[in-house]
A and B are shown apart, each in its own frame.
Chain A
Amino acid sequence: MWPSLDRWASLRNDLDSLLEMPFWGASGRQSQLFSGWTPALDLYQNNDNIVAVVELPGMRKEDIELSLHDGTLTISGERKEEASQENGNATRTERSTGKFRRSITLPTQVDVNKITASYKDGILTVTLPKAEEAKPRQIQINLN
């Protein structure tokens, strides 16, 4: 049986968004490869660290998961509907609930044992110290 045209169209969109991905492979916010919601993610780099900053308003700390596998950082979790939503009728729903997942291929090797994360005002900050061998090195040149 032929796949429906819709299926082809969505496959094409998936391919398009893959091709548009930046070099470190962060999945685009509109990516259709994953059906959950996609929080905004910023990525920074300095001499010592790679830092990911993710907007995750209204989460519980324990509902956020971090993992690192083969140089890819994955931030995932689930935002459960508030208890209040059960005793009221939603007349407008713009907040996303349910699962989310973001994966980023890190531009350098990091020291897995020294990764730290903080969650404040609905913003998750993950600090990944670069592995010693990945740090830029200053070379002393003696000029005679």
Chain B
Amino acid sequence: MNTLVRENRSSNGDRPTPEQFVAPAATVLENNDGYTLEVEMPGVNKESLEMWVENNELTILGRRSMPVIEGTRLHQESRPENFRRSFELDPSIDAGKISAKIEQGVVTLTLPKAERVKPRKIAVA
């Protein structure tokens, strides 16, 4: 209940996806107001990033545009696949208020909790 993200590994649904993706590294932070999700997608920019919420599941898809270098590749550690990962949203999240930005290949999503679930101080009359 408290975890924002129970990662959904079988998120392809009924549609077969022939394309292979790499799951990007993610960090999730929680505070009283909501969650912050940081996802590492080097080589992805604003134009090549897609995000959607469907059936209470958030999916982030980033297509990489890597620098094109002429010549011979002597050594490779990077993965050529695009990034994709899905997260199940905690019921406390107000899905309509999710916002996102991308900066130097890191997507930062702000997922606010719905007002009704926020901790509230009760004043003594």
Contact = CB atoms under 8 A, between A and B. Distances in A.
A92 B26 contact: yes
Nearest to A91: B28
Interface string A16-50: 00000010101001000000000011111111010
Contacts, number: 127
Interface in A77-124: 82, 84-85, 87-96, 104, 107, 119-123
Q: Which residue, B3, B5, B30, B38, has most C-beta atoms of chain A within 10 A?
A: B38
A22 B74 CA distance: 10
A121 B104 contact: yes
Contacts of A95: 25-27, 38, 40
A125 B35 CA distance: 33
Interface in B28-72: 28-31, 35-36, 38, 40-45, 65-67, 69-72
Interface stretch (B13-21, B75-83, B92-100, B112-120): B75-83
B71 A46 contact: yes
A58 interface: yes
B73 A43 contact: yes
A71 interface: no
A53 interface: yes
A40 B74 contact: no
Given A44-B72, A46-B71, A119 B104 contact: yes
A68 interface: no
Given A57-B106, A82-B38, A122-B106, A46 B29 contact: no
Contacts of A57: 40-42, 104-106
Nearest to A53: B67
Closest 10 CB pairs of A and B: A122-B105, A46-B71, A88-B29, A57-B105, A58-B106, A122-B42, A40-B77, A94-B25, A55-B42, A88-B31
6 contacts: A40-B77, A46-B72, A91-B28, A95-B26, A95-B38, A122-B106
